[in-house]
Structure 1
């Protein structure tokens, strides 16, 4: 793993992904435009550099930041954008519990769940982009703890820890009619059994909850007419 590349985003080509929900037994197709995404979950070192905070229950510079809420994640994105003199992607009203994504902004943001699954699959069609033991830290091999980023094999597009280690917050609301403001989590974590660490698995959590196997990675939209 090139630790110097932790903060460098990877270009993801456009494509189409089929999302599915086991609870409702439904599936739907989404067209995904080209975008960029971080090759690793946001590390504790990167999170502390931007926010001066160290919220994780297990401390380590190269460990993924965890114990961060969805609101923490989107605020990190905006602060990182301001630091790099980019336009923040979100208009946030934390007290009112409202967030608006400014899709024309060039700043950092969370991936949508369609972007996340498209990036995770990397042109593969199976439940995982490799053998579970080779690509993911999960209940069967994590030793009951979060692990440094990049310790397993990446997928074909150079993305690490898309499965296992920590779940990734996504932008999307899971199901507004049933779960109100709950947001989507993807990827599985270090405490999960093998069946949770699959490209199609969806989980949900309240945007204020902080959980010790939930982190995030950042994305940016591509400029128009660029691939």
Structure 2
């Protein structure tokens, strides 16, 4: 008995730190980790939230409650994952459509040619790479933080399909994450794919632009003179 697939529209959720508009100079699309709530992810990005920067945090399409020992079902945190092992290709196709549509909507409400950074955390780093490898969304740089590529995603093939944009690999100085998330091997794979990649280290706590490489954020074009 084989599972069958049926494509249907569905409603996704996202958090926006900032509002699209003429004053936005930088747009960041930030993809959370596995079994992570958007609120928890947003708390890690609070240092990046400035008036001229728009942070868009899409949520994975697989949402579910993750109760802790000291909570009731009513107070359980809602977390999300990006794909399931037994339907990864279908999930990845759905995610590409979802992220393309969200990005197009957000960028249409910002000044033309606003610089775009994509940040992926944990499994979200792998999803970011698969999404950008499709080549539909213009972006200026990619930041991969504590990256973990699940077995369902071929890392070397995905990196080889990425556009030629600079990549910053961020890893922690603590031992919270697995050795795969250490970053050195990912930098080597990125460089083998012909991409410019640098490795940066952060400690625990909210991320900072300094840790992510502030100089790598592409400057926005100056506003056009009034007609």
TM over 0.5: no
TM range (shorter): under 0.3
TM, length-normalised to structure 1:
0.27
- Which structure has more RCO (C-alpha within 8 Å, separation ≥ 6)? 1
TM, length-normalised to structure 2:
0.27
Select the structure that is richer in helix: 2
Based on CA coordinates, which of the two structures has the bigger radius of gyration?
Answer: 2
